[in-house]
Chains A and B, each alone.
Chain A
Amino acid sequence: EAGVAQSPRYKIIEKRQSVAFWCNPISGHATLYWYQQILGQGPKLLIQFQNNGVVDDSQLPKDRFSAERLKGVDSTLKIQPAKLEDSAVYLCASSLATGVYNEQFFGPGTRLTVL
């Protein structure tokens, strides 16, 4: 079974530029998560989708971050404009459904460096 795909793997931009990340979850997985992981810390949930609807985006900095999952399959996360503190690894994960016992499968991540 193919895993969660993410692109690009690495991105370097200057502050105030825009950037977009793409995620394709495991086929059939209804729930998709975007996490931000700053070096030395655990992942922080930015947004969770159930099919094409948002379940939780309480920790998404909405003034600069946006995410969509229009057809309920793949998803994009955008940062506009980027700040230095956005340098992190952005992880996408998917699970069959939402629930405490649903195992999340993670993609390889996108490492963003903001200069």
Chain B
Amino acid sequence: KNEVEQSPQNLTAQEGEFITINCSYSVGISALHWLQQHPGGGIVSLFMLSSGKKKHGRLIATINIQEKHSSLHITASHPRDSAVYICAASMDSNYQLIWGAGTKLIIKP
């Protein structure tokens, strides 16, 4: 069982819809990262959070430490949001990132 699980694996939605991507982890973490990867492109860090909620533009990330769960939300989704969204955990014991498998998001116009 992967220590970081994401759902759904694939998500297709219409432009304007509210999007939620979930991430659950089974280890003690110091920080949870959300990253974005466009087809053929590199990875961009969106958020790094260890508690509560962060917002950047139309993106919102939340984390519940007790439930070992984080969500990434996209409001008023747009076709340019189409990408793979990956959550990754920084563990308490070391500096390495434990990666989820990613959620492939497609926003149709």
State the A residues within 8 Å of B (CB): 4, 6, 40-45, 48, 56, 91, 93, 98-109, 111
Contact = CB atoms under 8 A, between A and B. Distances in A.
Nearest to A45: B96
A101 B33 CA distance: 10
A4 B97 CA distance: 18
A42 B86 contact: yes
Given A42-B86, A42-B102, A100-B31, A108 B42 contact: yes
B27 interface: no
Interface string B41-56: 1111100100000000
Contacts of B88: 42
A104 B45 contact: yes
Nearest to A58: B96
A7 to B, nearest CB: 13
B40 interface: yes
A108 B45 contact: no
Interface string B92-108: 10111101111000000
A98 B95 CA distance: 7
Contact of B99 (A42, A103, A105, A108): A42
